[in-house]
Structure 1
Amino acid sequence: MYDQYAALIFDMDGTLVDSGQLHEYAWTATLNKYGIPIDRPLMRSLAGVPTKGTIEILLEKFGITATASLDEMNDFKEQAVHDSMHLYVKPTALIDVAQRYHGKKPMAIGTGAYTEEANKILALCGLDKYIDVVVGADQVQNPKPAPDTFLRCAELLGIDPAQCVVFEDSKLGLQAAASAGMAGIDVLLVHAIENDYFL
């Protein structure tokens, strides 16, 4: 199905990994702790935005003066993810695509999560053996919807961006793929994979 591409790049959360409930749990705990309202449609629209960026958007949207530093709130959320990831994460149906092209085409993860967290989640899901490169938000200057994440994946794989296909579940991610000059696959439309994140 994707034979015409030289490399496959997957977003992680909501795309290759079913982790919607993990992040909903962690965000709910974080927002409740720091007195930030939970706007479910807004949270869903921010899927793929790194933690600090999401917090900044929420504080501005609700006109809230933070009671803690961005670093503290980020660390609280990341700790909640770390402590509970084993309870929630599993591969999506896209594992079939990863298995089909394993050993035939290089594959990367381009995620808004931090690299260390991504590596742990991929290992928990048994997906790490299929992935050659993991690029997290901590590796790029500008996260999605900027193209940096996917361009870094292509660079590390040694593949021309125009020869890469990106699998994404979010509008921001698909925008990043287009900006990188890559083909984008909306996994909900093409593979019926729905991210159960703040539905």
Structure 2
Amino acid sequence: MYDQYEALIFDMDGTLVDSGQLHEFAWTATLTRYELPIDRAYMRSLAGVPTKGTLELVMQRFDCLPCASLDEMNDFKENWVHENMHRFVRPTALAEVVKQYHGKRPMAVGTGAYTEEATRILTLCGLASYMDVIVGADQVKNPKPAPDTFLYCAQRMGANPARCIVFEDAPLGLLAAERAGIPAIDVHQVLNISNDYFL
């Protein structure tokens, strides 16, 4: 079905991995601990934004003065995810596409998560060994919605970005693919994959 593309690039959370509950509980715990408002619709709109960026946007939107440093809040959320990911994550139906194209096309994960976290989650889901490249937000200067993540995936695979295909679930991720000049599939609309959090 995707034979015309030179390489495949997957977002992770909400696309290749069902991790909705994990992130909902992690964000609820973090925002509650640091006395920040929980606006479910706004949190959904920030899907794909790295943790520090999300915290900064939440504080800006609600004009909050932080009761702790950005690093402390980031570490709390990331530690919560690390300690609980094994309870919640599982592969989505896109795992079948990954298995189908393993060894036939280079494949990458380009995610707003940090690389270490992404590697652990993909390993728990049995998907890490299928990936040629894993690019987390810590590997690029400007994470999604900037194009850097997907362009770096293509670069590391030695692929022409215009000949790749991106699988995404989040509006900001789809915008990142558009800015990178890479065709993209909205997995919500095309593949009926959905694991939104903060519903």
TM, length-normalised to structure 1: 0.99
| 2: CA distance, partners of 1:196 / 1:62 | 23
Long gaps (5+) in structure 2: none
| 1: CA distance, partners of 2:79 / 2:86 | 13
Match of 2:76 in 1: 76
Equivalent position SS for 2:99: helix
CA contact (8 A) 2:44 2:196 kept: no
Match of 1:184 in 2: 184
User: Which amino acid in the other structure matches residue 162 of structure 2?
Assistant: A
Number of residue pairs the alignment of both structures matches: 199
| 2: CA distance, partners of 1:164 / 1:172 | 18
User: Which amino acid in the other structure matches residue 17 of structure 1?
Assistant: V
Long gaps (5+) in structure 1: none
| 2: CA distance, partners of 1:37 / 1:133 | 36
Q: Compute the displacement of 1:185 (Å).
A: 0.2
Equivalent position SS for 2:112: coil
Q: Compute the displacement of 1:27 (Å).
A: 0.4
Match of 1:134 in 2: 134
Equivalent position SS for 1:4: coil
* Range with greater deviation from structure 2 (102-111 or 187-196): 187-196
| 2: CA distance, partners of 1:130 / 1:188 | 23
Which segments of structure 1 move beyond 3 Å, counting only runs of 4 or more? Answer: none
Match of 1:123 in 2: 123
User: Which amino acid in the other structure matches residue 36 of structure 1?
Assistant: L
CA contact (8 A) 1:89 1:124 kept: yes
Q: Compute the displacement of 1:129 (Å).
A: 1.5
| 1: CA distance, partners of 2:159 / 2:174 | 19
Q: CA RMSD in A?
A: 0.5
Match of 1:12 in 2: 12
Match of 2:39 in 1: 39
Aligned-residue identity in percent: 69
